[in-house]
Amino acid sequence: MSDHALNHSLIPGARNAVEVCLAVQPRQKVFILTDHRTRRVGMALHEEVLRVGATCRLAVLEDHVQRPAVHLPESLMAPLSQAEVALYCVYPQAGELPSRIQMVRCVEGHGIKYAHMVGITEDIMCQGMRADFHKVDEVSRRLLQRAESCSTIRVRSRAGTNLVAHFEPRYTWRKTSGIIEEVWSNLPGGEIFTFPARIDGVFVVDGTVGDHFGEKYGVLDRTPMTLEIEDSRLRSARCPNRKLEREFWEYCHQVEGSDRVGEFAIGTNLAVFEFTGNLLQDEKMPGIHIAFGDPYGTQTGADWSCTTHVDVITRSCDIWIDSEQVMQHGIFISDKLGIDYTYLSEDPSVMPMYAADPEWKRLREGP
């Protein structure tokens, strides 16, 4: 199949993005930015936008700027600013965060409904993007209700994570469930996040690292990285892979704020059940991830910013919101959150993972 041929297996995920997540309407103006690597994803999205009767401009990043793209030229920013809906499906390269921030700032400034699909792959289009996002939204809302009024969240894992995060009402919790109601969200969706007032403890990264690290180092199940955090600052990083350890430490000390925890998030997509090494999907798996760097102040209310942002994920954790445990071994405790797992039994790719966990039946049914 040529690079320009439409891959029909991408259509269900693209239709989910266009019809369910973004709710694109006939005659709306849509702008899609893709790149050579994700061109077929962009084409599938373009096809679905046209199918609903909207107008669409599909632009390929390399046709307008040399990679890595630190700054987006006017030939891309002008049509973006005129759009009502926009999608960014580009596979990232090191150093491109400033151009992604540039795009998000434009989207926020013009009130454009926007799907941020950085790092999207054809596999993710056929997995995480086929989720029932109405169900993901339901789980996210239930968790958000508890998080918005909490003062602390405690996280532990069998790998050694032992972390306490403190929260203040002045910082807003956000829901990015895939149903894009406010300006923008990542896709595939499935998380709630905020800026934590303070974080202390040990965070063992045995999942995925964001930015360009995911593609380079994959899932860290065999070479976990242990991070020590004090007063929200990264104090040490230890990893059997010394190259990763060094690169991560350097990344987190580029500019003021690079070493500061700017995001605390809980994944809520029950249909994401295994790590792929791609943060876009992996961070939506039920569990905890945090990020060092920019706190998304326009959404969280944090009063500082940073030109770097890198996420890290710990797997199979236990979570307590204040004194109430809501997750055990990476599975939400259904009776505590009112989550109905029944619909997952219809998905043969998901249920074997849950069924293999001895805690599954007890946690699903409650005491």
CA 330 to chain centre: 17
pLDDT along the chain (367 residues), means of 10: 70 96 97 97 97 98 97 98 97 91 94 95 90 90 95 97 98 94 86 98 97 93 97 98 98 97 95 87 95 95 96 96 94 81 56 49 48
Q: Are residues 156 and 50 in the same domain?
A: no
**Long-range Cβ pairs for the range 299-303 (8 Å, 24+):** 299/172, 299/174, 300/171, 300/172, 300/174, 300/193, 300/194, 300/195, 300/263, 301/170, 301/171, 301/172, 301/195, 302/171, 302/195, 302/262
Q: Which residue has the tokens 């409650």?
A: 366
The pLDDT of residue 5 = 67
Number of structural domains in the chain: 2
Residue 73 identity:
P
Any domain includes 361:
no
The pLDDT of residue 364 = 47
Range of the domain at 188: 132-342+346-355
pTM of the model: 0.83
Domain at 60, CATH number: 3.40.1830.10
Domain boundary (128, 161, 191) is at 128
- Count the neighbouring beta carbons within 10 Å of the beta carbon of residue 109: 11
Q: Are residues 138 and 27 in the same domain?
A: no
